[in-house]
Structure 1
Amino acid sequence: MQKNLFLYLFVFSALIALYLAVSGNKSLEKANASNTRLSEQVETYKDSLKEARLEVLDMQYFNLENNDEALAYLEHLDLENPQRYIEDKLLETNEQRGNNVLVPYEGMNGDFKINKIKVLNHRWILCDFSDGKYWGELLVAYEIGEDLTVKFTTMDHLLYAR
C-alpha cells in the first residue's frame, strides 16, 4: 500500500511538473511575442522621431537665431536677443490707432494688426496680419541703426480672398 502511495505521489508530482513546464513555456512565448511587438513599435517611434527632428531642422533653416552669418552682421549692436528686439519693435507698430502702418489695406472688420512674426535674417521679416475676419501676409525689410532704431519697409503683401 505504501509502495502504491509513493507511486501515485510520484506520478502526481510528475504531472504537476509537466503542467508547470508547459504553462511556463507558453507564458514565455507570449512574453517574447509581446517583447518583439514592443521592439517593432520602438523602432517605428525612433523613425518618427528622426523624421520630426529633420522637419524641425528644416523649419529652423530660415530663422535669425540659427543664421550665424546674419547674427554676425548684428553682433556690433550688443543686443542680448536680436530677434526678440526686432519682434518687439515690429509689434510696437500695432500700438497706434487705426491700421498698422505697414499693412497697405484698410481693415474691413476692424483694424489690421500684425499677429505672427518670423524674422528670417538680418534684413527680412515675414508677418501675418488680420482684422479678425480677413487676413494676409507681409514681407518686410528692416534696418537697425547704430542708435538701435529700427526702420521697417513693406516689400510685398497679399490679402487672402474670403
Structure 2
Amino acid sequence: MYLFIFSLLLIIFQYVNAKNVFEDDIRTIEKSKAKVEMLTDSIAVLNDKNLDLSYFNIEHNEDAYTYFENKGLDVPALIPFIKDEIYKQNTVKGGNPLIPYAANEGRSMLVNSIKILNHKWLITDFSDGVFWGEILVRYEVINQNEVTFEVIDSLLYPMQ
C-alpha cells in the first residue's frame, strides 16, 4: 500500500513538473517568435533605408556603369582611382586645391570623404578641424589613368 501511494505521489510530482516545464518552453517559444518577427520587421525597414541611401550611388546606378563600360573602362578599378586622385590633392601644400576656402591659421583644408553620385558628379566634405563644408564636383574620366575635376558649387558651414 505504501509503495502504491509513494508511486502515485511520484507520478503526480513528475506530471506537475513536466507540465510546468512544457508551459515554460511554450512561453519561451512564443517570446522568441515575437522577437524574430520584430527583428524581421527591423531588417525590412533597414533594407528600405539602405535602398534609399544607395539611390544616388554609382555602384547602384546601371546607366553610369554602362556609360563607363561603353567607353571600355574597368569600373570597379575606376571608382577607387577617382577617389584616390581627389585624396592625392590633399597632399598639396596649403590644402586641397579643389576647396575654395582658406584654412584656419596653420592648418590645411582637406577632403575627408567622397561619394561618387554618378558618371559625372561627386560630392565631398572637407574640414580643417575648425571649419567644414561640402563641395559638388563635376569630373570627367579621360582614360583609365586620367581624370579631371571641376568644382560646380561649394558651401562652408557657419561656426556655431
User: Is 1:33 matched with 2:27?
Assistant: yes
Cα distance in structure 2, aligned partners of 1:146 and 1:34: 61
Of 38, 50, 69, the match for 2:63: 69
1:77–1:148 CA contact under 8 A, matched in 2: no
Once the two structures are overlaid, the 10-residue window that deviates more, 88-97 or 128-137, is 88-97
* TM-score, scaled relative to structure 1: 0.91
Question: Given the alignment, which residue of 75, 80, 86 partners 2:82?
Answer: 86
Q: Is the 8 A contact 2:73 2:144 kept in 1?
A: no
Letter in 2 for 1:116: S
> Unpaired segments of 5 or more residues in structure 1?
1-6
Counterparts of residues 94-105 of structure 1 (less than 5 Å) = 94-105=90-101
Q: Structure 2: give runs of 5+ residues left out of the alignment.
A: none
Equivalent residues, number: 156
SS of equivalent to 2:90:
coil
* Contact in 1 for aligned 2:89/2:96 (Cα 8 Å): yes
Judge conservation of contact 2:111–2:124 (CA < 8 Å) in 1.
yes
Query: CA contact under 8 A between 1:135 and 1:159: conserved in structure 2?
Result: yes
Change (3 A) 1:77 1:148: farther
What is the distance in 2 between the residues matched to 1:25 and 1:160?
66
Alpha-carbon distance in 1 for matches of 2:110, 2:121:
18
* Alignment correspondent of 1:142: 139
Deviates more, 1:104-113 or 1:115-124: 104-113
Q: Tell which deviates more after alignment, 77-86 or 33-42.
A: 77-86
Deviations 1:104-154 (A, max 9, x none): 110015110111000000010010101012110000011111474211111
After TM superposition, list the pairs within 5 Å mapping 1:4-43 onto structure 2: 7-43=1-37
Please report the TM-score for the alignment, with normalisation by the length of structure 2: 0.92
Q: Please identify runs of 4+ aligned residues in structure 1 that moved more than 6 A.
A: none
In the alignment, the residues of structure 1 paired with residue 5 and residue 137 of structure 2 have an alpha-carbon distance, to the nearest angstrom, of: 90
CA separation in 1, counterparts of 2:87 and 2:16?
72
| CA-based RMSD | 1.4
